[in-house]
Amino acid sequence: MAYKAIVVGALGVIGRYIVERLEQDPDWEVIGISRRQGPSRQRVQYLALDLLDAESCERRIAAIDGITHVFYAAFQPTPGPAAGYASNIDANRNMLVNAVSAVATHHASLQRVILVTGTKYYGIHLGPIKTPARETDSRHIPPNYYFDQIDWLMAYQANALSDASIAARSWDWVELRPQTLCGFAPGTAMSLVPVIAVYAALSKDLGLALRFPGKHGAWTSLYQVTDSSHFAEAALWAALEERASNQAFNITNGDYFRWCNIWPSIARVFDMPWDQPQTISLSQQMPALKSRWEALQQRYDLQKIDFEALVAWPFGDYVFGSDWDVMTSTTKARQFGFHAVVDSEQMFIDLLGAFRRERITP
């Protein structure tokens, strides 16, 4: 193997797609790290690890041979609205510190750390921002754990260049900033597609049209998303592109849309009519339909995934409540060599259709 990666957060809506993409490339061997134990296979081994346990983290990562790359996609949310997740500083900083310092201390083979942050870096969760946001834009007033993560990583790398106690002294980093990941990973709090899929299925079962559940302003504002498979391609590019060293890049599908224009296509996936927006709190109203969802699972012989593990309603409220333009520029990534794009409307059609074919939703 030419490269050996640890993917931190390997069962999430980002990490699991990175694992799958690296697995397709014979030059890579992969160690997936997560709180839960994943299914190991020929070139992918999983390690269940509590990243907040610094001693265990160092001991177990030190026992792995020849790590060349770290893909860091772990995340710990807080209770309550998803817009408040960025304020969870200590846990999200400390998990990164424990994972990266363990690798750098014991693996002289380390070449690059790919850190996944996001567009909350620009304060996009707080309200309208300058659009399209660029990587050089100024920060908003903290708290925001993305700031703490990248600041620590930059400082640690600088110190590593002169610290003889750190085995790997010549590694670098790349920061990737996606917007609203779209994939499937039961248990994650940051995936939009299950929100839409389950909401649509329950609306149809109730005999209702598919109505946009967010704010009226969000219905017509510009928005953007990132396909998880597309992001995995970007992560692989970021791991190997020399020019990307010590740089940050926005990674999205590369297009913008308005929910009012693609909502009819989403409704057609579920063979149901659509109607104008009706603003509701998904977090407050959808949990009451858990028993109806379980009845749907039984009636249609769906995969038996727990309601709470399948969908995160606070994340849906956050996305559909953004009644301002959500736009970041991907020009820099293209200038540095990543040219792939995704049609977002077709992505929703494909992913939601896959949910039905794989019997996740009826």
Q: 163-212 pLDDT, tens per residue?
A: 877 777 789 999 999 999 999 877 665 789 999 999 999 999 999 999 99
Considering the domain architecture, whether residues 50 and 38 belong to the same structural domain is answered as: yes
DSSP 74-95: -----SS-GGGGGG-HHHHHHH
Considering the domain architecture, whether residues 302 and 245 belong to the same structural domain is answered as: no
Considering the domain architecture, whether residues 211 and 322 belong to the same structural domain is answered as: yes
| Residue 197, in any domain of the structure | yes
* pLDDT reported for residue 37: 86
Q: What is the mean pLDDT of the chain?
A: 94
> What's the pLDDT band for 64 if we cut at 50, 70, 90?
very high
> What's the pLDDT band for 42 if we cut at 50, 70, 90?
confident
Considering only residues 362 and 186, tell me which one the structure prediction assigns the higher pLDDT: 362
For residue 60, give its domain range. Answer: 3-180+227-250
Considering the domain architecture, whether residues 120 and 243 belong to the same structural domain is answered as: yes
Cα separation, 342 vs 327, whole angstroms: 15
Cα separation, 197 vs 56, whole angstroms: 38
Total domains in the fold of the chain: 2
Considering the domain architecture, whether residues 112 and 243 belong to the same structural domain is answered as: yes
Question: How large is the average pLDDT for residues 138-150?
Answer: 97
Q: Is the pLDDT of residue 99 over 90?
A: yes
At a CB cut-off of 8 Å and minimum separation 6, what does 315 contact? 82, 189, 190, 191, 192, 195
| Residue 331, in any domain of the structure | no
| Residue 334, in any domain of the structure | no
* pLDDT reported for residue 188: 67
Supply the pTM of this predicted model.
Answer: 0.96
Domain final residue, candidates 215, 250, 285 = 250
* pLDDT reported for residue 14: 95
In the sheet where 247-251 sits, what is the strand order?
44-48, 28-34, 3-8, 69-72, 112-116, 172-178, 247-251
Q: What ranges make up the beta strands (E) of the chain?
A: 3-8, 28-34, 44-48, 69-72, 112-116, 172-178, 181-182, 210-211, 222-223, 226-227, 247-251, 257-258, 274-275
Considering the domain architecture, whether residues 131 and 259 belong to the same structural domain is answered as: no
Q: Other C-beta atoms within 10 Å of 37: how many?
A: 12
Q: Is the pLDDT of residue 301 over 90?
A: yes
Q: Answer left, alpha or beta for residue 271, where phi above 0 means left and psi between -120 and 50 means alpha.
A: left
Q: Is the pLDDT of residue 48 over 90?
A: yes
3-state DSSP assignment of residue 27: coil
Considering the domain architecture, whether residues 202 and 284 belong to the same structural domain is answered as: yes
Looking at the DSSP bridge assignments, the partners of residue 84 are none
Considering the domain architecture, whether residues 173 and 91 belong to the same structural domain is answered as: yes
- Cα 90 to chain centroid, rounded: 19
| Residue 28, in any domain of the structure | yes
Backbone angles phi, psi at 68, to 5 degrees: -105, -25
Find the distance separating the first CA and the last CA of the chain, reported in whole Å.
42
Q: Is the pLDDT of residue 27 over 70?
A: yes
Q: Is the pLDDT of residue 83 over 80?
A: no
Considering the domain architecture, whether residues 209 and 279 belong to the same structural domain is answered as: yes
Closest C-alpha to 185, from 4, 362, 355: 355
Considering the domain architecture, whether residues 29 and 107 belong to the same structural domain is answered as: yes
Question: How large is the average pLDDT for residues 25-44?
Answer: 91
Tens digit of each residue's pLDDT (9 = 90 or more) over 202-256: 999 999 999 999 999 999 999 999 999 999 999 999 999 999 999 999 999 999 9
Which residue reads 């019997």 in tokens? Answer: 359
